């Protein structure tokens, strides 16, 4: 597992939003902000497990790679699932009312961490958002 800040220009991301490293979050915030009994996985809708056919449909956030190895590396076990497919626009906060719907359905007081079982973004990227992705260019001088 290579830390985000070793691959990307972390300082560039920090210019646009409040951000901390995963290491910093895991060591300093996760134990109290997101204790083990409150760890919820978010996904669009329930799906069948690819490993355990008898398991009930859910997010199954640790199935496949890189998901399983990533969460295992952070020592995260999930205790529940949340399905957000009923939110207008889903991930796309450019859809009218989507941001408000997320805030109302998942208030930060109850859900301080949103852990997704897949990339939390519209794919493929919309042309109007392409310029924003420039801050995530790889910092290849380190590799």
Q: Give 82-99 pLDDT, tens digit per residue.
A: 999 999 888 887 889 999
**What is the spatial order of strands in the sheet that 115-116 belongs to?**
80-83, 40-43, 115-116
User: Given this structure, which CATH class describes domain 4-142?
Assistant: alpha beta
pTM: 0.85
In this predicted structure, what is the pLDDT of residue 91? 81
CB 71 within 8 A of CB 101: no
In this predicted structure, what is the pLDDT of residue 141? 57
Structural domain spans, the chain: 4-142
In this predicted structure, what is the pLDDT of residue 90? 84
In this predicted structure, what is the pLDDT of residue 28? 96
Joined together, the tokens standing for residue 38 give 């409150």
In this predicted structure, what is the pLDDT of residue 110? 96
Alpha carbons 130 and 132: distance in angstroms, whole number:
5
Positions of the chain with pLDDT under 70: 138-143
Strand pairing report for 115-116 and 80-83: unpaired
């Amino acid at each position: 597992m290579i830390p985000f800040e070793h691959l990307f220009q972390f300082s560039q991301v920090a210019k646009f939003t409040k951000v901390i490293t995963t290491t910093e979050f895991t060591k300093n915030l996760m134990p109290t902000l997101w204790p083990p009994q409150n760890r919820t996985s978010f996904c669009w809708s329930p799906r069948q497990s690819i490993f355990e056919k008898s398991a009930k449909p859910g997010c199954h956030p640790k199935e496949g790679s890189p998901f399983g190895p990533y969460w295992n590396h952070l020592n995260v076990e999930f205790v529940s699932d949340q399905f957000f497919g009923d939110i207008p626009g889903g991930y796309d906060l450019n859809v009218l009312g989507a941001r408000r719907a997320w805030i109302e359905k998942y208030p930060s007081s109850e859900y301080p961490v949103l852990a997704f079982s897949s990339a939390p973004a519209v794919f493929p990227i919309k042309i109007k958002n392409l310029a924003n992705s420039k801050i995530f260019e790889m910092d290849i001088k380190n590799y």
